[in-house]
Amino acid sequence: MKQRFLAILHGMMAVILLLPYVIAPVHAAAPPEIAGAAGAYLYNFENDALLYELNPDARIYPASTVKLMTGILAMEALGDTPDRTITVTAEMLNKVVGNNMGLKVGEIVTVNDMLHGLLLNGANDAAQVLAVEIAGSVDDFVEEMNEKAQYLGAYNTFYTNPTGMHSEAMITTVADTAAIAKYAYSLPGFLEITSLSKYVMEATNKSDYRNLYNRNGQISRFYEPNYLYSGSLGMNAGYTKQAGYCLVSVAQRDELSYLCVIMNAESTDEDIFSYANAEALLDYAFDSYAYIEVLSQKQRICELSVALSSTVDYVTLVPAESITRYLPTDYNPEDLHITYTTYDESLTAPVQEGTVYGTVTATYGEEILGSTDLIATASVSRSEFLHLLQQIKDFTSGRFFRAVIVFIILFSVAYVLFEAHRREMQIRRRY
């Protein structure tokens, strides 16, 4: 019982120790150097793993990444009613500059049109239409944006408009932008819109149909022909003179999804460094990390001897489930160690296939990767003859049997002495 208790305790400790490593994978080779950008961030969603960051808390201008927050509030307020119509007002178009869809006062549009205009095309007029429709005014909507930023933990972010057009007072950080992007990633429908290369907005009462192209060069060639990226799910790309080129990118391959943020990037005649750095970081992530099976269900861990069986004298124990972990693709298998603990040193038939008889733990270096039960690979029946012999053996070696033997011996001795005494008394009476 003591051994079994210690084994169970060991298994519980293994699980507890595993928790910190879910969010901190074993480090792979060094990531690429970031050139021509003020900040960067690389993160894996499935394992909550931060792989790289550069100047995460430096205050910077957000440019069009502001539309991530605009999109969050719009999706939460109106995402369930995509066919709802909105009549564009003068207030909605007040002071709209920069990239826009050319909306007109009195034009009747749908929520779905505006969400695509905002998240896919980065249209500033769509941003303001949604802002006024949701909050009643742009100023009130901006107040909601700042409240949501605080709620999401983006404490170093402050908004002054829903479009991202430059304002000296409007600031954010790489870490805050990443936190906002993670939340946007969790909203149903958000990525579906940003992953489209094109959206056709049907004709309205004021305009013929519009072809809206994604402004993210990783998704569409329409604005930037040289930066398509395999597996990109989009998100947001933008530019202002003061903020430079900013890109929030989500890409997915082989069941792994990554968030990459590049802020305040420069450009040359040959390159835009927001895209170049994002491609380098995402390539690094996909090439350097993967799900690797470190322990197979078929792997034989140990054998335990089995008593009272006439067919076999041992049973093999294997993991109850495989252990697969997010690891560097260049990990050294020699640093992988498998340790195990069994509840008993041996078994007694019958043994049932699949019964748990211990635990096994996989570690890489000093980091625990996982722990699982050890189970029997086969059932072992009991020999009734051997069982009977064992019962006899157990009985004859038991205290009761020994007491009975002692009693019989003492009774026999007493009986002999009594008979001897009785005979002696008979002889004395005769004489």
Question: CATH number for the domain including 89?
Answer: 3.40.710.10
- The residue ranking higher by pLDDT, 412 or 339, is 339
- Distance between CA atoms of 207 and 109, rounded to whole angstroms? 10
- Distance between CA atoms of 42 and 279, rounded to whole angstroms? 11
Domain boundary residue, one of 288, 323, 344: 288
- 305 and 242 in a common domain: no
Instruction: Assign 310 a pLDDT band (cuts: 50, 70, 90).
Output: confident
- From the list 288, 222, 215, the residue with the least C-alpha distance to 258 is 288
- Whether 207 is covered by a domain: the verdict is yes
Cis peptide leading into residue 350 (ω within 30°) = yes
pLDDT value of position 349: 85
Residues in the chain: 431
pLDDT value of position 393: 61
At 13-30, the pLDDT tens digits run: 333 333 333 344 566 789
Question: The pTM is what?
Answer: 0.81
- What is the distance, to the nearest Å, from the Cα of residue 188 to the centroid of all Cα atoms in its chain? 18
- Whether 144 is covered by a domain: the verdict is yes
Amino acid letter, residue 275: Y
What average pLDDT score do residues 52-66 get? 98
- Distance between CA atoms of 170 and 243, rounded to whole angstroms? 11
Amino acid letter, residue 9: L
- 306 and 253 in a common domain: no
Q: Give percent helix, percent strand, percent coil of the chain, each to the nearest 5.
A: 35, 25, 35
- 265 and 172 in a common domain: yes
At 382-425, the pLDDT tens digits run: 766 554 555 566 566 757 767 766 777 887 777 777 877 777 77
Arithmetic mean of pLDDT over the chain: 90
- Distance between CA atoms of 370 and 297, rounded to whole angstroms? 13
- Whether 343 is covered by a domain: the verdict is yes
- 162 and 46 in a common domain: yes
pLDDT of residue 6 exceeding 60: no
- 232 and 166 in a common domain: yes
Instruction: Looking at 63-173, list the stretches that DSSP marks H as alpha helix, in order from N- to C-terminal side.
Output: 66-78, 111-119, 124-135, 138-151
pLDDT value of position 404: 66
Which of 197-206, 249-258, 326-335, 378-387 is predicted with the least confidence, judged by mean pLDDT?
378-387
- Whether 244 is covered by a domain: the verdict is yes
- 332 and 279 in a common domain: no
pLDDT of residue 430 exceeding 90: no
Instruction: Assign 5 a pLDDT band (cuts: 50, 70, 90).
Output: very low
Please state, for a pLDDT cut of 90, what percent of the chain lies above it.
77
- Whether 382 is covered by a domain: the verdict is no
Number of structural domains the chain divides into: 2
- 264 and 326 in a common domain: no
- 207 and 186 in a common domain: yes
- From the list 60, 25, 12, the residue with the least C-alpha distance to 261 is 60
Question: Is there a contact between 369 and 335 (Cβ–Cβ < 8 Å)?
Answer: no
- Distance between CA atoms of 118 and 195, rounded to whole angstroms? 13
**158 in helix, strand or coil?**
strand
Structure tokens at 415: 């009986």
Structure tokens at 280: 């380098």
What average pLDDT score do residues 83-90 get? 98
Q: Which residue has the tokens 């002999």?
A: 416
Domain, as residue range, for 143: 31-288
Instruction: Assign 426 a pLDDT band (cuts: 50, 70, 90).
Output: confident
Domain boundary residue, one of 288, 318, 333: 288
Q: Which residues neighbour 177 within 8 Å (Cβ) at sequence distance 6 or greater?
A: 41, 62, 65, 68, 154, 157, 248, 261, 263
- 94 and 37 in a common domain: yes
- 139 and 63 in a common domain: yes
- 185 and 148 in a common domain: yes
CATH number at residue 351: 2.60.410.10
- 215 and 322 in a common domain: no
- Distance between CA atoms of 228 and 217, rounded to whole angstroms? 6
What average pLDDT score do residues 290-315 get? 92
Structure tokens at 71: 């999109």
- Whether 427 is covered by a domain: the verdict is no
Domain boundary residue, one of 288, 321, 343: 288
- Whether 276 is covered by a domain: the verdict is yes
- Distance between CA atoms of 277 and 283, rounded to whole angstroms? 10
- Whether 97 is covered by a domain: the verdict is yes
